[in-house]
Structure formats: C-alpha cells, structure tokens
Structure 1
Amino acid sequence: MFRTVALATGSLLLLPGLLSGCASANAAGAHVGYADRAGPVVIGTDGSARSRVVAALYGELLTRAGQKVRTADTSYAFPVDTAQAVVDGRISIAPAYESTLLRAMPGGQTMPGNMEATLSMALPPGIVALPPAAAQGGVVLAVTRSTAGRHKLRSLADVRGAGTGLTLGGSASGDPDAPSVAALKKVYGITLTPAGTAEAADIRVLRSTDPVIAWDGLVVLADPKSVVPPEHVFPLISAPAVDLAGRTALARVNTLLTTAQLAKLTASVDAGETPGRAARAWLRAKGLQR
C-alpha cells in the first residue's frame, strides 16, 4: 500500500507502507502515533555521519526554541527507514532527502524534470516535510584542479570541449543517482569512458559530502541541465510533536547550511568529533547559538 507525503512548500512525495506499525488515525482523520504524544521530540537518524550531524543541528535548534529533545533508541539503516519511522509515529523528526524518498514511489521512478511538479501530491495527516536547506547530500561529479585548469572545466557542459579521452568513475559510481556515460552523452553530448569505482578517473563520481573533495581540493562541476537529481536535506516531522517555535528555529539553517558546510561537518564527525560538538560549533560560528 502507498500513501503520500508532501513538502510544506507544496512539494510532495510518495512513500511505501506509510501509516503502518504503531501509527493510527483518529476520528477526525488526524495522524496519531507514539511520537505525537506529550513528551520530548524524538530525533531519529540513519548510521551515516551526515545524518547524525544534521540531526544534532536539529536537536540543538529545537532545544534552544524551548522544546525537550531526545535521540531515538534505534539507529535506522537508511534515510527511507527514518522517514518511515516518522510516518509510523515511532520518532518525531528525521533528516530526509528528496530523491531518496522519490525512489520509494511505485515502480521506483523519479519522474525527472520539474522537481516541484514531481513532488506535488498530498501529505498524510500530521506529517510535514519542512522547506529544504541549500545543502545537498547526493552525487556530484568532480575533477582535480589540474584537470579543471587544463581543460577549462567548471561545468559538465564544458566537458564536451575536452574531447573524448576522459574517463568517468569513482566511489559513488554505483549510487542510484549516479549518471551513466550514456545519460551524460544524451544530456550534454559528451563522450566518456566508464571506469567503475576507479579513484583515478578523470571525472570522479562522489557523494557531495565526501571529505576527499576538500582534502584533494577537487573542483565540483556544475550541472546546469540537472542530469543528477537533487538531494536537498530537509526535516521530515510529525506536526503535533514540533511546535511553531521549533519549526521557525529549524528554518534558520536553510540558507546557511550549504553543501560545502555539510561536507565539513560530515568530515569532522568522520574524523571522530561527536555530532553534538560539531553541531554546536557550527551554530555558534553562524550566530545561531551562543
């Protein structure tokens, strides 16, 4: 069974099996679950450093807004699992990502094109996806500075002028959102040779928060024709659990949390810093917390 999930801005998504488990609907049709009841806001994450540090940001902001917060006892395997837990009422809030949720639609289609139109469906009562941050957690294509300088690359559209000798590969080559050489040929008219997961590929397919981008000073190529679907991070919430002050506080990270900033936060946690400490330092640096 499929039910629908929407963004607060009017953008919507589908998820499978929603409103299952401990969640239910009351006589008025409002969603009711464990996380909706009186008590602290329960934040859930998947096991990634990215999810844990974003959840820590949410927790700090909600606490400052006067809400009691605790971390869920369960760490979920994937972002779709945390989203399902919000809908089921097992947790109150979790970081979610556009394309990851879109892949949960019937048939797995992402309906490429206009993302706003793709997501324009209806929310299950009581579940709200707040506006997304500028940060994306999806796939990017990057090159070394020397490759960028040699071929004058700043965008995927520039690759066509580099000829046919470049290879495409990297650690995120198997990601569902990773573009194939055929897709890049069709969209940008460029010819590349597939190199699988080879780290030495000329054009590297990486997650946007991969610390190697900063460590190696890679140049992320712009994607003006959106061959890679967007993967902005946003808070998926159980509306009864997060009040207006909490939602307002969460919205303050929208423009400040860029992909580069999220990559730095993720790298800090991967290096051993606790998500809470990394989140507090970032919020203080941005003037969002004393």
Structure 2
Amino acid sequence: MLRTLALAASSLVLLSGCAGASTSGTTVSAADRQEATVIGTDRSAESRVVAALYGELLTAAGQEVRSAPTTYASAADAVKAVLAGEVGLAPAYETATLRALPRGDTLPGNMAATLSMALPPGIVALKPAAAERGVVLAVTRATARRHSLRNLADLSRTGGRLTLGGPASTDPDAPSASSLKKAYGVTLAPAGPSRTADVLALRGTAPSIREDGLVVLTDPKSVIPPEHVFPLISAPNADPTARRALVGVNARLTTEQLAGLVASVDAGRAPGEVARTWLRAEALLS
C-alpha cells in the first residue's frame, strides 16, 4: 500500500507539470468550457454510446453540450484529453485511467480512493456504474456443465485439460495462464487469440457472450482488474446539476445492458438514438 501511495503521489506531481499538453492538437479554451460541456470519446462502441447517454442527460438538465472534434484512439487517450483540458467530460474506466497517468499502475484496494488520490486537482472521477467493459473469462454452457464451472477456482478440477485463449487474451488486463495458476492453482494450456480455446478471454461487452450463450466465470480473488465505466470530468463542468444528471446512468447501467447498447451500435444504429431509447425505457428521459 505504501508503494501505491508513492506512485499516486508521483503521478500527481508529474501531472501538474504536463496538464497543459495536448494529445490531439485541438485545445478547448476556458471560455468554451464555461459555455458548453465538451464530451470526448474513443473509437469504441462502448465509449460512443456512453458518451451519448451523458450528453442526453446533461442536455435534458438544461446544460449545453457539444462533441469534441477529435475521436481519440483509445480510452487512455480520452483520459489524457480530459487532463489536458481538450474536453470537459469523457467516459473512462478505472484501470485504463490509472494506466494513462504518469507512472500509473494497476493498484489493489479501494479503487475510488486510489483514483481520487492519483488524479490531479481539477479532475473528478464521479461514481462508477455497475457496468464494466473489462476482460472476463467465459466457457460454453456445455463446458460449464461438464466440469461444473461457475468461477475461476472451479477450473482446478479440469486436470489441466483445457486451453486458455480468445480475442482479448492479449489485452493488458487479461489474466495469463501463470497468474491463474498462482491465484487459483489452475493449469491451462495457453492458446493465444484462438476463438476455439476452451476458456475464452473476452471483453465483458462482447456480443458473443449473449449470442453464443457463454457462461462468464466469476473471479472471487479479483485477479482481473476492474474496468467499471464512470464519468471523468473537469471541475468547472462538474457542478451539482451535472452530477445529479449523470448519477442516473451510474445507478442503472449494468454490464449486460451496456453489452446490449454496444450490440445496437455495432449493428449500425446511431449512438444518440440508442442512448435515447434506453434512457426513455429506464424513465431517465422524457
């Protein structure tokens, strides 16, 4: 924990010296930020649809909103844009945010406190939603029934006969075969990004989880770091009206619901349309 504090403190010092840097070459002036909340996104469907949720709620609350002229390459780049003052608000994820900070790290313990301490003055991490876009490990229903699998510890009873792979197996948050062995005593043969592996590493919002009826294995020892979505916002934009508006998403949005929204965007629907439909169904928007 002392190392955690030291890393967070050093992040804070370094950020104070580089907060004026721009990641895209487009900087929103302080005057513009006072007139409108500029919302940034990365290229993912998750980011675009969550940003649309934020924008619809803020607009309904009477606040002026506009989209950033730049779509950022990754969640980390969107975080850096908020830190640099290019945008006032962006969807963010816990572990990805820590990695975006100078000398950031995946840190255990109270994530809310860690973020609060690691972020520079003037940048606020609002309460996260239940929804995560983090990596999960999943198996087919047939495999789950055959080996009575419900959590990662249950994999120890398979006798090392299963393989570990999947589309997200190379993601920095994905657990390796060695980390699962250390935490759970599980032996799995690495299969790389193969989609035919027995145990698949996927993003929690991957459409294949619902489409293929996969069983997501729980992680009781928290080997996989959390990636709950939350609003990362600059202090001038985080007034009580904005906070009250955004809390509606955090209270309602689950990973399964986010996956459904992502599937709709991937199918070609506009993020704003998808966001409005969901918000009205949840009685968050009239």
Equivalence map 1:268-279=2 (5 Å): 268-279=264-275
Pairing of 1:97-176 with structure 2 (within 5 A): 97-107=93-103, 109-116=105-112, 118-119=114-115, 121=117, 123-176=119-172
Q: Once the 2 structures are TM-superposed, how far is the Cα of residue 50 of structure 1 from its aligned partner?
A: 0.7
Aligned twin of 1:11:
none
Asked if the contact 2:264/2:274 (under 8 Å) is kept, the reply is yes
1:1-290 matches, within 5 Å, as: 3-4=11-12, 18-21=18-21, 34=30, 37-107=33-103, 109-116=105-112, 118-119=114-115, 121=117, 123-290=119-286
Q: Distance in 2 between matches of 1:4 and 1:57?
A: 30
**SS of match in other structure, 1:45:** strand
Q: Measure the CA separation in 1 of the matches of 2:135 and 2:72.
A: 21
* Aligned residue identity for 2:12: T
Tell me, in whole angstroms, the C-alpha distance in 1 between the residues paired with 2:153 and 2:16.
36
1:133–1:35 distance in 2 versus 1, CA, 3 Å: farther
4+ aligned runs moved over 4 Å, structure 1 = 14-18, 105-108
Identify which range, 97-106 or 227-236, moves more after superposition.
97-106
- Whole-angstrom distance in 2 between the partners of 1:175 and 1:35: 39
Give TM-score, length-normalised by structure 1. 0.87
CA contact (8 A) 1:35 1:241 kept: no
Question: What is the distance in 2 between the residues matched to 1:227 and 1:139?
Answer: 11
1:39-84 Cα shifts (integer Å, max 9, x gaps) = 1111100011110000000000101111011111111111111111
The aligned amino acid for 1:20 is G
Quick one: structure 1 residues 204 and 122, their matched pair in 2 at CA, closer, same or farther if it must change by over 3 Å?
closer
Contact kept, 8 Å, 2:124 with 2:238, in 1: the verdict is: no
Conserved? CA contact 2:11–2:104, under 8 Å:
no
Structure 1: distance between partners of 2:215 and 2:32: 44
| Aligned-residue CA RMSD (Å) | 2.3
Residue identity (%):
64
Secondary structure at the aligned position of 2:252 is classed as: coil
Q: 1:279 to 1:198 in 2, by over 3 A?
A: same
* Residue 35 (structure 1) shift: 6.8
Cα distance between partner residues in 1 of 2:31 and 2:168: 35
Q: Residue 62 of structure 1 contacts residue 69 of structure 1 at CA under 8 Å; is this kept in 2?
A: yes
Deviates more, 1:95-104 or 1:117-126: 117-126
Specify every segment of 5 or more residues in structure 2 that has no aligned partner in the other structure, as ranges: 1-9, 23-27
